[in-house]
Amino acid sequence: AQSVAQPEDQVNVAEGNPLTVKCTYSVSGNPYLFWYVQYPNRGLQFLLKYITGDNLVKGSYGFEAEFNKSQTSFHLKKPSALVSDSALYFCAAAGGATNKLIFGTGTLLAVQP
């Protein structure tokens, strides 16, 4: 069975510092991986995806993610955090013939001013 794990319920970081939100996956076949962000009372917003190619994927709002096949990881990163980045972040893998998303449990990112 395919699964996605986000080992940290919450990540705290000071504004201006680099941030990392961790994600590991277990899928059969080639992994197709996504990051979404969820703000209160709003829908999930797409940040970036890895389908194939370069292991470093760049996305919206200055976020990037590094795909590591040997460690089955797809960590989300940003060089300098903003207070406005505070939100709930979900890692997901696309699975099955229908491209349904399998989500992790989410990581709450709190950026302190």
Partner 1 sequence: GAGVSQSPRYKVAKRGQDVALRCDPISGHVSLFWYQQALGQGPEFLTYFQNEAQLDKSGLPSDRFFAERPEGSVSTLKIQRTQQEDSAVYLCASSSRTSGFYNEQFFGPGTRLTVL
Q: What does the binding site for partner 1 look like in residue numbers (CB under 8 A)?
A: 4, 32, 34, 36, 41-46, 49, 51, 90, 92, 94, 96-106
2 vs 20, beta carbon nearer partner 1: 2
- State how far the Cα of 33 lies from the Cα of 41, in Å rounded to an integer: 24
Nearer to partner 1, 14 or 51 (CB): 51
Please report the sign of the dihedral spanned by the C-alpha atoms of residue 106, residue 26, residue 3, residue 58. Answer: positive
Q: Please, which residue, 19 or 59, has the CB nearer to partner 1? A: 59
Within 10 A of 66 (CB to CB), how many other CB atoms are there? Answer: 16
Nearest residue to 73 via CA among 101, 104, 100: 104
Residue 23's nearest CA partner among 91, 69, 105 is 91
Minimum CB separation of residue 96 from partner 1 in Å reads 7
For residue 27, the minimal CB distance to partner 1 (Å) is 12
> How far apart are CB 15 and partner 1 at their closest, in Å?
26
